[in-house]
Each structure stands twice: as structure tokens, then as C-alpha cells.
Amino acid sequence: TPRHATPSIPSRSLPARQPGSALEEARARLHVSSVPESLPCREQEFQDIYNFVESKVMDGTGGCMYISGVPGTGKTATVHEVIRSLQRASDADDVPAFNFIEINGMKMTDPHQAYVQILQKLTGQKATPDHAAALLEKRFSHAGPKKESTVLLVDELDLLWTRKQNVMYNLFDWPTRRHGRLVVLTIANTMDLPERIMINRVASRLGLTRMSFQPYSFKQLQQIIMSRLNKVKAFEEDALQLVSRKVAALSGDARRCLDICRRATEICEHTSLDPGAPGLVGMSHVMQALDEMFSSAYVTAIRCASVQEQLFLRSVLMEFRRLGLEEATFQQVLVQHQALCRVEGLQPPSVSEALAACQRLGACRLLLLEPSRLGVLQRVRLNVSQDDVLYALKAE
Amino acid sequence: MTASLQHPGYDPERLLCVAEKMPCRVSQAGTLLSLMGEPAQYSYPSIFLYGHRSTGKSHVINTLLMDLELPHATVSCVECVSVGLMFERVLLALFGPDTSTLLPRSPSLSDFVRIYRQQAPLSPANQTRYIVIEKAELLRDMDSNLLPVLVRLQELVDDNVTVILLSEIVWDRFRPNTGCFEPLILYFPDYSKGDLQQILSQDIHPSYSPELYSAFINILLGVFYSVCRDLRELRHLAALNFSKFCEPLKEGKVKESDTHKLWRNIEPHLKKAMQTVYLRDVSSVQWEQQLQQTEEKECAALKGLSAHAHVELPYYSKFLLIAAYLASYNPARTDRRFFLKHHGKIKKTNFLKKHEKTSNHLLGPKPFPLDRLLAIFYSVVDSRVAPSASVFSQISSLVTLQLLTQLGHDDQLDAPKYKCAVALDFIRAISRTVNFDIVKYLYDFL
């Protein structure tokens, strides 16, 4: 095999099919991976990041920025968009040329691999982490002839945490060097990450340039979907509003919103009587998709459990009520279970059968159990709320 | 033989021969055979056999697989200290010696499955392959993914393979918390008295008639059956004591038919042998020698291993041990009464607390700090003893001799806690050698 082969995957023998109907078109547009050219509802954040990076690149200085927000608020997409427009500007000679490097904490086996990846993306060199750190240190602390600025995007910053925090320290220390010309943009989910996990000298180098992405409101979500669909007529107006209101109330996650819309188009396609012209996605389809996404599987699992398993859950509740505790040993529950079976007119199960039922419930995480080698002495706890169990058992 | 094995896939002559080898286990073997099906058919992915010790689990399985010449691998989890060894043995037995070298140094499950899948088509199976795992309860202590994989190995390697697990523990205590494929569970019941009689009567002494031997077995079971149903142990006892049983016959005192006299002769010996069931206190060679010279010596006169409970200790070590015993079995409140000169008269009933009514000797030793040990030590030793390094080193050597046990962490320098780990008889023997009446100082015997 060649030494520096470009990695690739086998290509298709036939090209991928183009979307045929309006629903398929809508599905392709609503896919999470098809990021649009301009992000709606993030104009302010875009401008802030753009100004920050542009000013640093123009001046030839360095700096850090910390970006936070719950998942699905468009942090990474916005930063990428900023970089894209900056690159366009540098092609038009409005800003000086710069390097863009992206690393992701989740894609690394070890935090120290960050050095290796940065070095490889900067120079194409391969080195061990220690050597790479030394090379990068030299590069950023000495003045070189006509050096370009470097913009470094660090995604999933919290995974770069080590006990001595030297990776984070270096990443935030290099921009402060006089000849560094490094702009570091860091992304994480929690707002108070610097205060929580970073020691003082690391947090102070990160600086106070913070930005937090608020979750989308329902209007924004609606606008995002509308802009994605871009005049493809696939959804009823009310259906869209329902999706965006539900998602905004729960998390404000745009990806979740898009997923639900895609699922709703599929449901619409499957349930329509006329396969040629499935029509619009209506309220009922969206309701069904929302149910699939948000409803708890626990209640369904309890409802579909066998008779003995349901009786066991019921006797767990009875035993909890009798003890006044949220925990009981298996043998205590077994006494209740057998009594309950007699009341119900069923043959009481043997210890092995009851244990099997209990361990099956434990395997699907309805119960929390201790290791099975403790036998009848293992303690049983509920993993769902008692109300959920009662609700599921009652509605028969 | 009442029942006989019948199964369409196998040679009936051979099955007859197999059935003869496993008396009283023909019905279990029949069930197993029908689970296994004909050689070419797919069998159930995993079978779990359980039953008490020496109920013939391994014997039945191994005889079936050996005599019917089915491809199989037998591994014992005791020998497989690492999973790598187990994989190696399985591959070796199923695919020949070359394949086990294909395994990397510390193989993972996926390596095993990969090599199995590579090898299986090379030597295609027209018969079910069997993997027998003995002492399967140890599988639970190995990697947590091993047991779930083994019970559905058939699916994973896509080959006609059946894993048979043997254990003395019920399946309920095996099931992983994340759940797994449920094997078929088969129980091997204990042998009844009649079964044991039948099996034991099979190994006949060549110079005597089978009736005599079975009469001997009858007497043996009459004595031992209440304490021991372990076939292996009973067989061992029968072999040890048969020569004694035959002695009057050799000397010509009684005839073979005179069972009552034979019984009178052997019975006291068997009663004595009862004390050594399971305990190889007296080794079997010693026992046989003893039986030969029984005229001069009584049977139990020979001291067993456990009777050698006399240890030579230095003088102060003896007192340290006595002090430790007193500290372990007396409540700390009563130390004033036992070891102070002017304590006044206190009756036991006065300072008997409610929960102390049960004897401390039943509850076991209690932990005590080093200070208390030394205080009692100084008060029981008559002369003045300097707290020199030798006293402290004697304490730590008592710990190494396992006469004391240290509680908590090893590297604890200040205020370590100890427990005394010797029995009352032992400490009485020790205190007799130093003329110390320990019973007078024990709270339980007040």
C-alpha cells in the first residue's frame, strides 16, 4: 500500500437518486447534515464572532473566545459559517490570509492527541504528542518571516480536560504570545465550564470573551424550518407550529425539530392512500411523530410485560408502601408476590420463576438490581417513578 | 439395566455400550441425546447442566461425546486463569494444533470469534461441535461479556456449535444484570441410596464374590449414608475399609454367608472412620497401615493432623497471646474487675448487660486496640517487662503466624487493632505451660 494514500470509501456504482416527490424533496432539505448557506436567527451571534475573529486577524494578534450553549443551538454551524465568509473575504483581499484548523475533543483517543492533530493540520508533520507540543511551542513563541494568522476551532472542549490541564493551558497560552498570531475559538455545552473544571491560571488565560447561544424559541424554530423548506410545499402551517412549539418547550434543539419533521414526512408517506400524491403533512402525522419521539418507553414496556412481571412490579410497589422505603430485598417482594398471586387466583411462582421475572425486568432497566449472585438477598429498586408504574398497570 | 438409550442418529450397539458405562443416569443421558439431536442437525445453542458434586455431570457428558465420537472440546474454568487459555484449548480441540497459534498474545473475544469463523469453513462440520465448560461458576468472575457470548456462540460464529455449561450452582445466580440468552437448563438429581448401592457394587474385588461385596456396600451405606452422599468419597471409603472387612474371611474364622459376624467385626471400625470423612486428617496410606497393625494399637490412637495443635512459643509471646485472648473475649468494662488490685466486690449479675447474656465465645472474638493488649499483658506478667522492641516484634510475628489478625490497613502505625484467632483449648494448653489459670480471668466462665 502507498505510504501517503488519501483515505477514501468505495464509491457508488449508481449515483444517488434525486428526490422525486415534494415530500422527498422536503426530507432531503430537512436533513440535519444539509446546512444552509446562511443560518437564520443567528445573525447577532454570527456578527459578534465575525467581528472578533476579523479584528484579531487584521491586527495580527491572538485571542480566545469561549462559546457555550445547549446541544442543537447552532454553535458549530455558526462558527463554520463565520470561517467560510472570512475565507471568502480573504480571497477578495479584504482580510489577510489565515489558516483554519479544527479539532474535536470527541474524535481523540487521548487529550494529548490534540497537539499531534494541530501540528499535522498546520504543517503536515507527524510526531509524538510530546514532540508535537514542543514543535508547536516553538512555532507560536518565536517570530517567523511573514507568518499567517491561525484560527483554531476546538469543539467539545470539556473532553480535553486532563488532571494537570496542560493541554488546555497550552491551547489558551499560545494566543497570549506576542508572535503567536493564534485565535482560538472553543465550544462546549455548559456556560460555567471555565469556572467549574479549570484551575485559575487556565481560566484566566481563556479570558472573558464569552458568548452563550440561547435555545431557539418556537418562532425561531419555525423560521428555520421554513427557510430550510424554501417554498417546497410539504407541510401544513399548523403542523409546523405544533412541532416548533413542542420542541421549544422541551429543549429548543433544532436538530430534534428537523428529525421530527423528517419522521412526520415519512409517516405521511406511509399512511397516505394514494402513493402517487401523498399530499401535505398534517397535524395527525406530526402528532404521531411527536409521540414516537417523546413518549416514554417505560410505560409501554410495563404494559407489554407478562402477567407475572406485572404482578412482580405491583408487589414491589406494595412492599415499598409497607416498608415506607424505596428499596426492598427480593425475598421481601417475593412474599408479597406470592400473596398477590393467591389473591388473583393464579398459581404462585417458584423462587426461580419469580427471580427470572425480576431479572428480566432488571435487564430492561425497569428495576435496578444488585448482581445476581446474591440470589434472594439482592435488593430491588424501581428505575421509574411509582406513579408511572401505577399509571401503566391501571390503564388496561 | 432397566432403561436403555435409543436415538435414531446413532449406532444402537454403541448406545448400549454407552448406557452400560453410566448406571442410573440413562434417563438424563436420553434427555441430553434428544436435545443434541442427530449429529448433523443443529442443536440448541447452549445447555446448562447443574446438580450436586459427583452426580455424574461431567461423566455423562464426556462419555457421550467420547464414545459417540462427536467433535468436542472440554475445558475447565479452574485451569483457565485467563480467557486466552480457554480460547486456545477450544480451538486446539476443535480445529487441530495449528489454529491455536493464530491467536494473538492476549486474545480478546473478537479474536476468538474471528479465528473460529475463519477455521470453521476450512474443516466443515457435518456434525455438531460441542464445547463443554466445567466449573462454569467461575465464568462469572472473568470478563463480564464472556458468559453472554458463550451462551449464544452459535449465532455469533454462524456454525453448528453447542456450548454445554456444567456447574453446581443454579442458573439464577449466573444471569448477568444486562440479561442474556437463556440456555436450556437440565438438572442432575442426587443418587438415591439404591442408586449408590448399585453403582458401588459394580467395582468388585476379584477374589471375592459379588454378593459379599454388595453386602459390604450395604453395611457401608448404612453407616455413612446419613452424613455423606458423595459417590467419590463413598468409593474412597469402601476401598479403604474393604480389606479390614475381609480379614476374618482370610483367617478362616467365618464363612462368606455369615454376614452378621462380618458386620459385628467391621462396624466399630466404620464408626471410627466416620470422623475422618472428607477430612484427609489421616492420609489413606496411614489409615491402611494402621488397619494392618490394629492388634497392637487402637484405631483412633493415631493423632490426626488437627490434633497437632501444640506450638512452641517464646515466654513473652505466650503471655502476649493470653493477653490478646483475654482482650478479645472479655468486655472492656470488666478489665477493672479482673486486672486491678482494689476493685471492690462486684458480682457478675451486677454488671451484666442485657445483650451480653449470650456467651462471648459464641459470638467470636472482638477487636481490641494495641494499648489494651499491652495493659493486660503488663498486668498478667508477674515480672517487670520493658516495652522493648522485642515485645512489639513478637506481636507482629504473632500476626504473621496467624495467631493474631490485624484489622484494617497494614501500614497503620498508631493504634492498630487486633483480634485473637486461637481457640479456647489452644489457649488453655498455652496458659498451663506458664502456670496461668486463664479460666479465672474469663468473663464467660465467671
Q: Helices in B96-230 by DSSP H: which ranges?
A: 109-122, 146-151, 153-157, 193-200, 210-224
Q: Give this complex's ipTM.
A: 0.81
Are B173 and A375 in contact (CB < 8 Å)? Answer: yes
Torsion sign across C-alpha atoms B414, B420, B421, B427: positive
Looking at beta carbons, which pairs linking B118-123 to residues 24 or more positions away fall under 8 Å? B119/B91, B119/B94, B119/B95, B120/B157, B120/B158, B120/B159, B122/B95, B123/B95, B123/B96
Identify which of B171, B173, B177 has the shortest CB distance to residue A369. B177
| Angstroms from B176 CA to nearest CA on chain A | 7
Longest dimension (CA), chain B: 92
**Position A140: which residue type?**
F
- What chain B residue is nearest to A351 in terms of C-alpha separation? B172
Contact assignment for B177 to A363 by CB distance below 8 Å: yes
Residues sharing a CB contact under 8 Å with residue A27, sequence separation 6 or more, in sequence order: A19, A262, A265, A266
pLDDT at B68: 87
Q: Output the DSSP codes for A108-133.
A: -SSTTHHHHHHHHHHH-----HHHHH
A157 pLDDT exceeds 60?
A: yes
B19 C-beta neighbours (distance < 10 Å), count: 20
Q: Where would I find the H helices in chain A?
A: 22-30, 43-59, 75-91, 113-123, 129-141, 166-173, 193-197, 200-206, 218-229, 237-250, 254-271, 283-294, 297-304, 307-323, 330-344, 351-363, 386-394
- A373 closest CB neighbour out of B173, B178, B179: B173
Question: How far is it, in rounded angstroms, from Cα B78 to Cα B82?
Answer: 10
Strand order of the sheet with strand A379-382?
A328-329, A379-382, A367-369
DSSP letter assigned to residue B171: G
Euclidean distance between CA atoms A128 and A133, whole angstroms:
8
- Please write the tens of the pLDDT for every residue from A266-315: 998 888 877 666 678 888 999 999 988 888 889 889 999 999 999 999 99
Measured between CB atoms, which of B140, B170, B179 is closest to A363? B179
A282: three-class secondary structure by DSSP? coil
Mutate which of B137, B151, B171, B177 to disrupt the A interface (most A C-beta within 10 Å)?
A: B177
User: How many Å lie between the alpha carbon of A315 and the closest alpha carbon of chain B?
Assistant: 20
Mutate: best of A373, A379, A381, A383, partner B, most B CBs <10 A: A373
Q: For testing the chain A interface, which of B50, B172, B173, B182 should be mutated: the one with the most A CBs within 10 Å?
A: B172
Distance from the A394 Cα atom to the nearest Cα atom in chain B, whole angstroms: 27
Cell (9 digits) for A226 = 421554513
Residues of B in contact with A360 (CB under 8 A): 179
By a Cβ cutoff of 8 Å, what residues of chain B touch chain A? 140, 170-179
All 3 cell numbers of residue B263?
Answer: 458386620
The residue among A340, A336, A312, A327 whose CA lies nearest residue A380 is: A327
H-helix segments, B152-253: 153-157, 193-200, 210-224, 231-251
Q: How many CA atoms lie within 13 A of B73 on its CB side?
A: 20
* b/e map B201-228, b = 16+ CB within 10 Å: beeeeeeeeeebbebbbebbbebbeeeb
The reported pLDDT for the residue numbered B228 is 85
How do beta strands A98-104 and A149-155 pair? parallel
Which residues does chain A have within 8 Å of residue B175's beta carbon, measured at their own beta carbons? Answer: 356, 359, 372
User: C-alpha cell of A300?
Assistant: 409501554
Residues in chain A, overall count: 396
Neighbours of B279 (CB within 10 A): 10
Nearest-Cα distance to chain A for B157, in Å, is 24
Sort out which chain B residues have CB atoms less than 8 A from A356's CB and list them. 172, 175
Please give the Cα distance from A393 to A316 (Å, whole number): 13
The alpha carbon of residue A323 is apart from the nearest alpha carbon of chain B, in Å, by 25
Distance between B140 CA and the closest CA of chain A, angstroms? 9
Q: Per the CB < 8 Å rule, is A359 touching B177?
A: yes
Which of A309, A330, A351, A359 to mutate against chain B (most B CBs within 10 Å)?
A359
Tell if the CB–CB gap between B172 and A352 is shorter than 8 Å.
Answer: yes
Interatomic CA distance for residues B21 and B432, integer angstroms: 59
Q: Is B172 within 8 Å of A371 when comparing Cβ atoms? A: no
Nearest to A330 by CA among A355, A310, A357: A355
Distance from CA of A337 to the nearest CA of B (A): 18
Is residue A385 scored above 80 in pLDDT? yes
Reference A252, options A293, A218, A224, A289; nearest CA is A218
**What is the model's pLDDT at position B290?**
66
Largest CA distance in chain A: 90
N-to-C CA span, chain A: 64
CA separation, residue A97 to residues A100, A138, A143 (Å)? 10, 22, 17
Angstrom CA distances, A313 to A106, A333, A336, A360, stand at 39, 9, 10, 12
User: What pLDDT sits at residue B2?
Assistant: 45
Q: Searching chain B, which residue's CA lies closest to the CA of residue A354?
A: B172
Buried b (16+ CB within 10 A) or exposed e, B170-197: bbbbbbbbeebeebbebebeebeeebbb
Nearest CA among A191, A118, A179, A109 for reference residue A152 = A118
Cβ proximity of A94 and A85 under 8 Å: no
Residue ranges of chain A whose CB lies within 8 Å of a chain B CB: 351-352, 355-356, 359-360, 362-364, 369, 371-373, 375
Question: Are A364 and B179 within 8 A, CB to CB?
Answer: yes
Residue A49 pLDDT > 90, yes or no? yes
Distance, in Å, from the CA atom of A178 to the CA atom of A140, rounded to the nearest integer, reads: 9
Tens digit of each residue's pLDDT (9 = 90 or more) over A115-128: 999 999 998 889 99
Q: Which of A355, A372, A375 sits opposite B177 (nearest CB)?
A: A372
Nearest-CA distance from B178 to chain A in Å? 5
pTM over 0.90: no
Burial class (CB in 10 A: 0-12, 13-18, 19+), B398: buried
Confirm if B103 and B16 have CB atoms less than 8 A apart: no
What is the average pLDDT score of chain A? 90
Tell me which residue in A355, A362, A363 faces B172 most closely, judged by beta carbons. Answer: A355
Q: List the one residue out of B312, B305, B327, B332 whose CA is nearest residue B404.
A: B327
- The dihedral over CA atoms of A25, A27, A30, A33, expressed in degrees to the nearest 10, equals -100
C-alpha cell of residue B208: 471375592
Which pLDDT value is given to residue B1?
40
Give the count of Cβ contacts less than 8 A between chain A and B: 31
Q: Which residue of B has its CA nearest to A378?
A: B173
Name residues whose C-beta falls within 8 Å of residue B290's C-beta, 6 or more positions apart in sequence. B282, B297, B299, B302
What local confidence, expressed as pLDDT, does residue A186 receive? Answer: 94
Residues of B in contact with A355 (CB under 8 A): 172
Per-residue pLDDT of chain B (446 residues; tens, 9 = 90+): 445 677 787 888 888 888 888 888 888 998 998 888 888 888 899 999 999 998 989 999 999 999 888 899 999 999 988 898 999 999 888 888 888 788 888 889 999 999 999 888 887 778 889 999 999 999 999 888 999 999 999 999 988 899 999 999 999 999 999 989 999 999 999 999 999 999 988 888 788 888 888 888 988 898 888 888 889 888 888 888 888 888 888 887 777 778 888 888 888 888 877 776 667 666 667 766 766 555 445 544 555 555 556 788 899 999 999 999 999 998 888 888 888 776 666 665 555 655 556 678 888 899 999 999 999 999 888 888 888 899 999 999 999 999 999 888 766 677 788 999 998 888 998 899 888 888 888 887 77
pLDDT in tens, A189-213: 998 888 888 888 888 888 888 999 9
- Give the chain A residue nearest B179 (alpha carbons): A363
Distance from CA of A377 to the nearest CA of B (A): 11
